[in-house]
């Protein structure tokens, strides 16, 4: 079973003492706030009085460790109460469409006038000025590169755009701007566009493409499933293994484990990839997934079972590191990354009135 962890207060992570306001949103914003909360920040989530279209999707995990305050920001008095709270905050993150916060009277100019040290993070698909909204993944080239040849691009969950290009760059941007604000006493706006983040994640592939080491097609290159030594294979039981034997020494061990002579294949000779793929496919289809895991355990062949979400939480390797924890009877990822001196952890979920929080945050940062 996964490891149960106690909730704790006060926070002890590396961001302990940071006060962050999270404006209710879906997609990358709640995950960014969750990560910053796990790292010790005190996060107050400003929620709509009634759930929106998506309700509280993912609330058991994505909204963990926060204080939630329902506010009707179309009410001038409640908006002014939020501005009072902003006066004592260090950072704010919002993910509304461009112009929404301004129409509410909570745009960066207003908030920075109230609190000149504030880090005001804005997270959108295409930035505050861009013409598009949710098509950033397709527009960066990332979607084109994922999938099999001559088939429609595969949908990589929302891991690349929302979470890789959005959440992670938002968290990095907030922490970076907090360092500057604490040093200078001056806050700023952090404009996080997922299209920018995804483009940055593609940096290696632009370099490979420019150096004629990458074909601008999917499923034909060494990191996109085109190489037989870097893809998934079906096993005798219908389950799959993943193979990632990029380095020559690892490739040699892969051949050993499959019972194929090392001299049979030149790893980098793409002309031999079709036959290599046929041999690998036949070999892996001859035994069940768990048998292949047993055979390759302890080697450097880079062969691993493709686990389901449920299997991953119970796998011995993940259990040994406590990758997952159980909280409120829900299995979820443990806080990451890990710190030796200021350990991260999951805070207490709570609710509060805006007046209680303003009283505690009354001194501006």
240-244 sheet: strands from edge to edge: 230-234, 240-244, 303-305
Selected residue with higher pLDDT from 53 and 109: 109
Asked whether residue 152 is domain-assigned, the answer is yes
Is the pLDDT at 132 greater than 60? The verdict is: no
Burial grade of 227 (CB within 10 A; 0-12, 13-18, 19 or more): buried
- Digit-coded pLDDT (tens) for 76-95: 999 999 999 999 999 999 99
Is it the case that residue 45 has pLDDT exceeding 60? yes
CA distance 159 to 166: 9
pLDDT score at 138: 83
CATH of residue 264: 3.30.1540.10
Q: Whole domain around residue 298: which residue ranges?
A: 240-305
Mind listing the pLDDT tens digit for each residue in 284-295? Answer: 999 999 999 999
Distance of alpha carbon 118 from alpha carbon 108, whole angstroms:
9
Burial class (CB in 10 A: 0-12, 13-18, 19+), 318: middle
- The reply to whether 329 and 298 lie within a common domain is no
Catalytic residues: 162
How far, CA to CA in Å, does 176 sit from each of 173, 180, 251, 311, 339? 5, 7, 40, 36, 18
User: Residue 190: its pLDDT value, please?
Assistant: 98
Claim to verify: residue 62 and residue 161 sit in the same structural domain: yes
Structural domain count of the chain: 2
| pTM of the complete model | 0.91
Preceding amide of 125 cis, omega within 30: no
For residue 315, being part of any structural domain is answered with no
Task: Over range 147-152, report the average pLDDT.
Answer: 88
Which CATH number fits the domain that encloses residue 44? 3.40.50.10540
**Confidence check: pLDDT of 259 > 80:** yes
User: Given a cut of 90, is residue 181 above it in pLDDT?
Assistant: yes
Cβ-proximal residues to 95 (8 Å cutoff; 6+ apart), any chain? 23, 25, 26, 27, 28, 29, 122, 123, 124
- Return the pLDDT at 9: 55
Q: Are strands 42-47 and 19-23 parallel, antiparallel or unpaired?
A: parallel
Say if residue 192's pLDDT is above 70.
yes
Residue 181 within any structural domain of the chain? yes
In a domain, 122, yes or no: yes
């Amino acid at each position: 079973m996964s490891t149960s962890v106690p909730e704790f207060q006060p926070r002890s992570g590396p961001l302990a003492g940071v006060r962050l306001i999270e404006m209710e949103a879906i997609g990358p914003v709640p995950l960014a706030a969750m990560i910053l909360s796990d790292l010790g920040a005190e996060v107050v989530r400003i929620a709509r009085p009634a759930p929106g279209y998506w309700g509280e999707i993912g609330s058991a995990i994505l909204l963990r460790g926060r204080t939630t305050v329902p506010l009707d920001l179309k009410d001038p008095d409640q908006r002014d109460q939020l501005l009072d709270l902003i006066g004592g905050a260090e950072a704010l993150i919002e993910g509304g469409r461009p112009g929404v916060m301004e129409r509410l009277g909570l745009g960066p100019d207003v908030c920075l006038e109230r609190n000149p040290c504030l880090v005001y993070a804005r997270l959108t698909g295409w930035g505050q000025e861009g013409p598009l909204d949710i098509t950033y993944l397709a527009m960066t080239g990332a979607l084109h590169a994922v999938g099999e040849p001559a088939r429609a691009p595969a949908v990589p969950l929302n891991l690349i755009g929302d979470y890789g290009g959005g959440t992670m760059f938002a968290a990095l941007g907030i922490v970076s701007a907090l360092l500057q604000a604490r040093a200078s006493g001056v806050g700023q706006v952090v404009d996080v566009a997922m299209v920018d983040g995804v483009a940055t994640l593609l940096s290696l592939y632009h370099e490979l493409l420019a150096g004629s080491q990458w074909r601008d097609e999917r499923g034909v290159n060494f990191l996109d499933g085109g190489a037989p030594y870097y893809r998934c294979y079906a096993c005798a039981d219908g389950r799959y293994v993943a193979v990632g034997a990029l380095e020559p020494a690892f490739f040699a061990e892969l051949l050993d484990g499959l019972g194929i002579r090392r001299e049979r294949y030149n790893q980098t000779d793409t002309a031999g990839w079709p036959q290599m793929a046929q041999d690998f496919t036949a070999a892996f289809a001859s035994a069940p997934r768990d048998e292949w895991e047993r055979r390759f355990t302890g080697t450097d062949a880079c062969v691993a079972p493709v686990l389901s979400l449920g299997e991953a939480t119970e796998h011995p390797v993940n259990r040994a590191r406590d990758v997952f924890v159980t909280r409120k009877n829900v299995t979820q990822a443990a806080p990451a990354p890990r710190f030796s001196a200021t350990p991260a952890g999951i805070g207490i979920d709570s609710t509060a009135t805006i007046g209680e929080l303003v009283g505690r945050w009354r001194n501006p940062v």
